[in-house]
Amino acid sequence: LLSAEGLDARVIPVAEETRQSFTVFDRSRDAEFRFVLPGPRLREREIRALETALAELSPRPDVLVASGSLPDGMDPRRLARLARVARRTGVRLALDASGEGLRAGLEAGVWLVKPNLRELQECLGRDLPDLSSRLAAARELVDDGRAAWVAVSLGREGALLVGVGFAAHALALPITPVSTVGAGDSFLAGLVWELSRARSPQEALATAVAAASATLISPGSGMARSADIRRLRPGVRIDILEGG
């Protein structure tokens, strides 16, 4: 799949089977069920091989995305180490993690973090029942230096993007989701793509919401199509809450 997209892949071999996940759609109830099976337990040498491959990337990337749940056997503090290495080498780290991995990465400081509402609440240890409390939570992470940008995906309530001197809320598009698989990843991809090209944060947020929405209307594990992203993007409404 990566080759079909014209992307280079550096594969790190592991002894155990790669984790599998699949989606089942029940047409009789219009219900989607996601099955995420347990993944392999990584050995220390396999984790070190991954870290070595990242350190030896040439040319060094402008942006590195660490996304998904950590494999069994991997200490969450490895994400903190990755964040520190990235900052020291001038690489911007975008973190999409949960639980202890999210906390560890934020403690070290990252360029961008993208939790959903549940992950943000768990990370901070408190409920965030409304937009003002969610905005304050994201602002807290920015003001503390834990992230330069905080993007919070809110499902049907849209998304928040907060940075130094800037905050905006994007409303969700009025679409009928077909599948939720990959929507968060597409959101992050659109956001990173635009910010890495020095587009304005409101433009980046609009593209991110359009990319997530394009994935929501793609059946199963289908990816967003660029034509759908371009078609949906003009309809994304952005409310600027701070800056501009």
Residues 169 and 132: beta-carbon distance below 8 Å: no
Average pLDDT, stretch 107-123? 96
In percent, the amount of the chain with pLDDT more than 70 equals 100
Q: Range with the lowest mean pLDDT among 48-57, 151-160, 190-199? A: 48-57
Q: Per residue in 198-243, pLDDT tens?
A: 999 999 999 999 999 999 998 877 788 999 999 999 999 999 999 8
Q: Token digits for 8? A: 């280079």
Strands (DSSP E) along 97-158, which ranges?
110-113, 147-153
Dihedral sign for Cα 186, 204, 130, 175, please: negative
What is the reported pLDDT for 189?
Answer: 96
Q: Does residue 228 carry a catalytic annotation?
A: no
Q: Token digits for 210? A: 């359009």
3-state secondary structure 22-84: EEEEECCCCEEEEEECCCCECCHHHHHHHHHHHHCCCCCCCEEEEECCCCECCCCHHHHHHHH
Q: Per residue in 156-179, pLDDT tens?
A: 999 999 999 999 999 999 999 888
Q: Token digits for 225? A: 């199509």
If you classify domain 21-242 with CATH, what class do you get?
alpha beta
What is the reported pLDDT for 107?
Answer: 94
30, 130, 144, 185: which is the annotated catalytic residue?
A: 185
Residues 66 and 79: beta-carbon distance below 8 Å: yes
What is the reported pLDDT for 10?
Answer: 87
pLDDT bracket for residue 39 (50, 70, 90)? confident
pLDDT bracket for residue 36 (50, 70, 90)? confident
* Average predicted confidence (pLDDT) for the chain: 93
What is the reported pLDDT for 70?
Answer: 87
